[in-house]
Structure 1
Amino acid sequence: MPPEWAPHERTWMAWPVPNTTFTGGYLAEARRAWAEVARTVRRFEPVTMVVPPGGADEARALLGPGIDLAERELDDAWMRDIGPTFVTDGTRLAAVDWVFNGWGGQEWARWGQDARIAREVADLAGIPVHPSPLTNEGGGIHVDGEGTVLLTETVQLGPERNPGWTREEVEAEIHARLGTTTAIWLRRGLTADYNGYGTLGHVDIVAAFARPGVVVAHTQPDPAHPDHAICAENVALLRTRKDAAGRPLEVVELPAPTLLHDEDGGWADYSYINHYLCNGAVVLCAFGDPRDEEAARILGRLHPDREVVLVDARPIFAGGGGIHCITQQQPRPWLPAPGPRSLAPRP
C-alpha cells in the first residue's frame, strides 16, 4: 500500500443517503459538506462520487461540474471504511476487500450494500480484488509506504470485529495484504469514538504518518478532557517505537481544538489528524477554532510542497468522522510496462 502522499490517480467518495445517521435536516447539511470536500479535492485530482441509483441529478446540483458520478446501492457514506484499500506492485493496481461489518456490528449500522462497495469500486476502476478474511476498515490503518503500519488494539483485536484472532494472526494478515513488515499498536482511540456513531477506535483520528519516520499525533492540552491522558499515552508510546527501517519515530503533536464538548454535551473528538493528502494539497479539517490556523501552519511545515486548504468539518464530525473518513485514494502506479511479477493474493 503506497503512502497517502504518493501520487494519486483519483479520489473516491460516497454520497450521504438517508439512514439512522443522516436524518432530517442533517442529511442536507451533510451533503453540502461532502460536496465541499469533493470540490476542494477536485481542484487537485479527479474525484468519483458513488451515488445511489437515481440520485445523480440531485448530487450533481450540489457537486457542480467536473466530478465523476457512479450509481451504486449504498448504506452509508464513509468511503475510507467501506471502499477498497488500493495496493500496487508499481505497474498494476489491486484492491484489498476487507470484511466490513458495520464498525463492529453496531446497532445503528446497516451494511448489506456497503459490504459490496469495495468490489464495486474495484470493478469501476478495472482492477482485480484480493479478499481478506480480516474484518477491518481503511480508517483503522495508516502506512508509511516503507513497511510500517499504525493500528489500534480495540479495532483489529476487538471482539466486535475479529473474535478469536491473535495479535500475531492479525499482523500476518495485515502484512500480507499491505506489504508491511512492522506493526505499531496503539491501545485505543479517542473517548467519543466509543459512543454514538463512533468506530471503536480508528487510528486515523489519533495518529498518521507525515513522511517516513515522522508521525503526527493528536494531543488534548486540557486535562479536563478524558482524551488528555489517552493522547499522552499515545505520544509516549510512539516515541519509544521504531519503524520498519529501524528509525526512531519523530512525533509531531497536533493540539486538539479548544472546544471540549459537542452540541449534545458529550466530549468532542474534533481532530486535525483526520486530514487528507491529495495531489498537491492537504485538505484539513477546520472547526471555526483558534487552533485551526496553528494546525495549518504545522502541517504546512511538514508538507511544504502542498497547499493547505481548510474545510469546515463540523458537519462531517457530527456524523461520526472527518475528511479522511469520507475519502479514499487510488494511487498512481509509477513503474513502466508490467514485467513477470504478479499481484496474486498471498496464501
Structure 2
Amino acid sequence: MSSSDQIWRATASWNRTSRFWLAWPKATGHRDHDEIARDDSVALAQLLAAHAPVTMVAHSADVVPCSLQMPSGVKILAADSGAGLLSAQPVWLTDGAGAILAGVACDSVSGRDLAQAAGVGIVDLPAGWQGDLIETDGEGSALVLSRLADGLDGGRPEAERLLREKLGIVTVIWLDDPRTGPGTGRVPARFLAPGIVAVPGGHTAQHPAFAALSANRDRLRVTSDRMGRSLNVIDLPCPNRTQGCYSDCMVAGDLVLVPEFEESRDAQAFAQVVAALPDARVVGFPASHLAAPGAGLGRSVLAQPKLN
C-alpha cells in the first residue's frame, strides 16, 4: 500500500484498543520459572480481556496446553515462530480516512505476518525500522533512537524527512542508544500521556548505560513537543533486578500497567505513575517472569489501536 499523496499519522498508545496481542512464554527448562511465567500470562490475558479482545500467540507445539489454560474468550493463534511473531513490533498508523494500518520494515517477515493476522493494511518502512525504535505521541512528536539514521546516506536529516513523510512525525527527539550488547535495542523512554514521558533512572555512574540514559533525561527535560508543551519527565527508579525496567509501562487507552519486580521499589514506581496520571486506571502487574531483558510490560503486550 503506497501513494505519494497519502498522509499517514503514527498513533498514540493511549488511543482506544481494538485488540491485545500476547506471546505464550517459551519453555526455558527451569520448571518453577516456566510455571510462574505461564500463570502470569493467563492472569494478564484475563485482566486485558476486560478491556478489549485478546489474542495469545503460541508456537504450534504449545497450542493445546495454552488453550487449556486460557480464560474463555481469549483467541489462540498458532504460529511456527511463536513469540517471534511479536518480536518486530509495527508502528500503528491512521490514514486520512481513519483506517488503521501497520508500518512495517520492508525486511521484517514477522512484522508482515503480524499485520496480516491483525487484518490491517501495510505501509512499507525503510529496512530495519522497527516499532521499538520509534515512540510516538499521536500528535506529530516522536522519541527516536539515534541508530534509526544509521545506514541512511543523508543521516538524521534524511531520517527526519522519511519520518515526516511516512509517519507524519514533525518533531523528532533523538535519543542516545543505551544498548551495551547485541540485540535490537529499543527507545529508552515511553510516552504515558500527552507531554508526559517516563524514563529509566536511578542508575549509578558505574552502570554501562549511565552516560546515555543521563544525556537522554537531560535532553528531554529541556525539550518541547510539537504542540509546544514542555515535556514532563517522570524519572522512575532502577530496579535492583538489573534485567527489568519500570519505565516500560504498558499504556492502552486509560489503562496503564506498571511492571512489578517483587522488590521494594515497586511501590515507588507505582506511586510516581499514579501521581503523573490522575485520570488513568493504573495497575501494578508482575513482570519478573514475562519481561524481556531491560524491559517491562510495554514490550510484552502489543496493543492494536481502534478507530476513534
Please report the TM-score for the alignment, with normalisation by the length of structure 1: 0.76
Deviations 1:36-77 (A, max 9, x none): 433332232211122223532221233332211122221644
- Gaps in structure 1 of 5+ consecutive residues: 101-114, 263-267, 335-347
CA contact (8 A) 2:143 2:172 kept: yes
Aligned residue runs from structure 1 range 195-210, under 5 A: 195=181, 198-200=183-185, 202-203=186-187, 206-210=188-192
Q: Distance in 2 between matches of 1:16 and 1:78?
A: 13
- Gaps in structure 2 of 5+ consecutive residues: 1-9
Q: Distance in 1 between matches of 2:292 and 2:263?
A: 16
Q: Distance in 1 between matches of 2:234 and 2:295?
A: 22
Tell me what 1:177 maps to. Answer: 166
From the superposition, tell whether residues 227 and 84 of structure 1 become closer, same or farther in structure 2 (CA, over 3 Å): closer
Tell me what 2:100 maps to. Answer: 93
What letter is aligned with 1:145?
G
Report the secondary structure of 2:60's partner residue: coil
Tell me what 1:339 maps to. Answer: none
Tell me what 1:251 maps to. Answer: 233
CA contact (8 A) 1:217 1:235 kept: yes
Deviations 1:276-322 (A, max 9, x none): 01244211110112121111111112222332222221223465643
Runs of 4+ residues deviating >6 angstroms: none
What letter is aligned with 1:286?
E
1:84 aligned to 90, 96, 103, which one?
90
From the superposition, tell whether residues 50 and 175 of structure 1 become closer, same or farther in structure 2 (CA, over 3 Å): farther
Q: Distance in 1 between matches of 2:140 and 2:61?
A: 42
Q: Distance in 2 between matches of 1:27 and 1:199?
A: 24
Aligned residue runs from structure 1 range 185-224, under 5 A: 185-189=174-178, 193-195=179-181, 198-200=183-185, 202-203=186-187, 206-224=188-206
2:119 aligned to 121, 126, 139, which one?
126
Shift of 1:165: 6.0
- Which moves more between the two structures, 312-321 or 293-302? 312-321
Q: Distance in 2 between matches of 1:221 and 1:141?
A: 23
From the superposition, tell whether residues 132 and 208 of structure 1 become closer, same or farther in structure 2 (CA, over 3 Å): same
CA contact (8 A) 1:99 1:134 kept: yes
CA contact (8 A) 1:274 1:285 kept: yes
Please report the TM-score for the alignment, with normalisation by the length of structure 2: 0.85
From the superposition, tell whether residues 306 and 241 of structure 1 become closer, same or farther in structure 2 (CA, over 3 Å): closer
Tell me what 1:152 maps to. Answer: 145
Tell me what 1:111 maps to. Answer: none
Tell me what 2:16 maps to. Answer: 7
Aligned residue runs from structure 1 range 1-347, under 5 A: 1-17=10-26, 22=28, 25=31, 30-74=37-81, 76-77=83-84, 79=86, 81-89=87-95, 91-99=98-106, 115-154=108-147, 156-158=148-150, 162=151, 164=153, 166-189=155-178, 193-195=179-181, 198-200=183-185, 202-203=186-187, 206-257=188-239, 259=240, 268-317=242-291, 319=293, 321-334=295-308
Shift of 1:219: 0.9
What letter is aligned with 1:174?
L
CA contact (8 A) 1:13 1:49 kept: yes
Shift of 1:27: 5.2
Q: Distance in 1 between matches of 2:101 and 2:39?
A: 32
What letter is aligned with 1:172?
R
Deviations 1:7-40 (A, max 9, x none): 111112233446xxx4554555544443343333
CA contact (8 A) 1:17 1:77 kept: no
- Which moves more between the two structures, 217-226 or 125-134? 217-226
Alignment length (residue pairs): 297
What letter is aligned with 1:199?
T
From the superposition, tell whether residues 248 and 305 of structure 1 become closer, same or farther in structure 2 (CA, over 3 Å): closer
CA contact (8 A) 1:15 1:49 kept: yes
